[in-house]
Chains A and B, each alone.
Chain A
Amino acid sequence: MLAFVIKRCIQSVVVLFVMSLIVFSMINLVGDPVDMLVNPESLPEEIDRVRRDFGLDQSVQVQYWKFLTGAVSGDLGNSFIFGRPALALIAERFPATLELATCALILAVSVGLPLGIYAGLNPDGWGARIVMGGSVLGISIPTFWLGLMMIIIFSVLLGWLPVSGRGETENFLGIESSIFTVDGLRHLVLPAINLALFKISMVIRLTRAGVEEVMALDFIKFARARGLSSPRIIRSHLLPNIFIPIVTVLAIEFGTLIAFATVTESVFAWPGVGKLVIDAIVNLDRPIVVAYLLFVVTLFLVLNLIVDIIYAAIDPRVRLQGDR
């Protein structure tokens, strides 16, 4: 186990290094940040001053070397626009995104799993057809459009929920989050559902496929023949067997929820990291873009590692490499 984790960590460092090289050189091909930053009414020497201060007068190789030496000590550079460390800015906005993604994931599992099992156990029932039809809709409706529709219906027409923003936050056990206040929860409902809907549909479809497959297998028939009750079969024989693909997909999907909540965040003006990154891309705030991409890569590496470890825990047949 330990050997496996160490090996993975070394691989991860290599991946991060290659990623930083690609991202850094690609982003340096696009435009010139100075044109986006310096007010056109400034004197020409202001452009030269900014170029010098931000190290943009140096060659890409020198800039990359500086970035790399900084990165080793955990400094991914200062944002051009905010003048603050890029990592600190991401860390500041990250809790909002994390709470949104976590709520969406919880929704996806708590709604998607039961519905998927139900649809898988009663594949020909009307209920199952409605669930499956709904899941097709959930997968195909664009997030952006759906978000606006939800705003119109629940905020503008019915006036039940606020349109945008994060609402009040409360500090609980050192975590500043809107899930600890009623106002915060009211703000969270629409964006969380909006973000979760695609994932709910996906979990439904995955679960149903797993259930249908496993229910046809001999050991289920045998369990039935032994006279076990239906709930018991589901709990002890069905669930453990359908969890593996679901856990894999969910872990990676959690990464995508965090990394790509951008659309939902911009529709609901959610003060998360997505908004920060979009602005950074538009305004060529290179340090933030680079730091964010490296952050996302790290996130996926960690999630993958966790998935592999969970695998070993829930499936006795799986042996981790190097774990003899």
Chain B
Amino acid sequence: MKISILKPAVFVATMASSLSFSVSFTSAESLTVALASEPTSMDPHYQNLTINNSFATQVYNALVLQDVNQNLLPGLAISWKPIDDNTWEFKLRPGVKFHNGSTFSAEDVVATMQRAANVPNSPSSFATFIKGKTFKVIDELTLQVATEKPYPFTPNDMSRISIIDSAFVDATTEDFNTGASSFGTGPFTFAKWLPGDLLEIRRNDDYWGSAVEWDNIIVRPISDGTTRTAALLAGDVDFIERVSPSDLPTLESRAGISVFKSVSNRLLYLTLHMTDTPIKPYVTDSNDEPISSPFQDIRMRKAVSLAINRKAIADRVMDGLSAPAGQFSPVGYIGYSNDLQPDSYDPEQAKELISAAGYADGFKLTMHGPAGRYSNDTRILEAIAQMLSRVGIDTSVETMPASVFFKRFARGGPDKKPEFTAAMSGYANGSGEPSHPLRIFIHTKQKERGYGPGNRNGYSNSKVDKLIEDGRSSMDIAIGENAFIEATNIAMQEYALVPIHHEIATWAAREGIVYKHGALDSTFLHYISAQK
């Protein structure tokens, strides 16, 4: 057995696997889970942040729920339908009690919306989902939501807001952190929170849905991946998320441990600048003179995509934990287009395209990206740089901390315009709304209308814009979805951005525990169950 003691992660797993492994499982009723991060607050309306939102679904319910692939399910509303072009009607679930005993009714929804849009000091509020909507109580269990224009995604927006008891409409964030106001309708009740140390929730015996099997769950934030693995192996915790890639093979091959993997909706992509004025110093000719971005030519964008060996990145950089991507969504996910496949590696065709575009002599390119933000981000960029250099684009890489990267990426250039010519970034659809990536990254930038806030490379196609806008105003979801798929097809064939891969999310648990996993890489505690 060869052990590298200089790589603790590998060493942990190898050493541990060489010994017989047994965990004394104390009680089937209590579960301890180690997560990579913890919520910033117990107030479900404080910050629109993935970990806060996934934790909120444990204690609270929204009107509409999302499953692990973000399909919509009935929540505190049992049904919803548009009654005219500008109004949705929600029928609410009867007989639901909050954890403090009060009964859920339409008034609670109105109070919730009022609070959620206006939490003081919120670093990222939920106003985005509430603004422009008027909430009208028809009777105790009927609610109408009116929008200014036809808006088919009202149910999706409603799936983002945790409903609280109207008694706590004026509660402060601190009241939720201490538990004084933390009464939801969800599968668990809030027990205690010691920031940085542990978070405890208990089963809600009166839950309206299928009851969870654990009496209580203790969540421990352990940010270091190797420590999480060790905690699972030592039996300190029963379940972990985000297994560090180097620990994975040994955990998988080991008796007494189950590993769960699924292709997540987190996409890594390259964005190549298409409107390079003024010319930036990141593309230069053989005399080191800056030239305007070659990627204004679609052939050059295609050449970059064909030059990337996605499979090699998956195998050698990602330890198998990525799936080559050709569009925003993974298979089976909302907005997925069957017409698009990941580009296969074809350096010869890439070279031909580069020659045809008039860059046969090559040029120098500096590619930018964040370091430590996404799994193996720097190594992926370095691999891509080598691949591009092989087809004649002499590429160097510059990475920086995410906090620096995102500012320069968005507005580091002159006139607060995006700075980079070629950059790598990531995206995951947190909203479960199919037009989401198209509105943000693909539509022409129109700040006042909320279109294209993430469109950094100046891609603009009026036909795509129209498809996106039509889809977003069609109250018939099926028609809308077709428009989005068509817009996706055009944008991806024009390389509005170059998809690289979807990350594969991982979880591990001691034997006897199963996790219902999907494309969301965050952990939903009520999906953890004991094997039957």
Contact = CB atoms under 8 A, between A and B. Distances in A.
B125 A269 contact: no
A307 interface: no
A157 to B, nearest CB: 6
A39 B197 CA distance: 26
Nearest to B16: A156
A157 B450 contact: no
Contacts of A33: 403
Interface stretch (B141-149, B223-231, B462-470): B223-231
A251 interface: no
A195 to B, nearest CB: 15
Contacts, number: 162
A35 interface: yes
Contact of B124 (A50, A148, A151, A272): A50
Given A40-B454, A84-B174, A96-B196, 17 more contacts: A31-B403, A32-B406, A36-B403, A41-B431, A43-B450, A49-B125, A49-B127, A93-B196, A148-B227, A151-B12, A151-B227, A156-B15, A156-B234, A162-B236, A163-B234, A276-B196, A282-B401
17 contacts: A31-B404, A31-B406, A35-B406, A46-B125, A53-B121, A80-B123, A82-B41, A96-B197, A148-B9, A148-B230, A155-B230, A155-B231, A162-B236, A163-B236, A266-B224, A269-B221, A275-B196
B1 interface: no
Identify the interface centre among B41, B198, B407: most chain A CB within 10 Å of its CB: B407
A239 interface: no
Interface string A50-92: 1001100000000000000000000000101111100000001
A31 B400 CA distance: 11
A133 interface: no
Nearest to A33: B403
Chain B interface SS verdict (over half)? mixed
Contact of B231 (A30, A50, A163, A275): A163
B532 interface: no
Interface in B3-18: 6, 8-9, 11-12, 15-16
A159 interface: yes
A283 B12 contact: no
A269 B220 contact: yes
B133 interface: no
B266 to A, nearest CB: 13
Interface of A: 30-33, 35-44, 46, 49-50, 53-54, 78, 80-84, 92-93, 96, 144-145, 148-149, 151-152, 155-157, 159, 162-166, 266-269, 271-272, 275-276, 282-284
Contact of B46 (A83, A148, A156): A83
Given A41-B430, A43-B450, A163-B234, A271 B128 contact: no
Nearest to A285: B123
A284 B16 contact: no
B8 A149 contact: yes
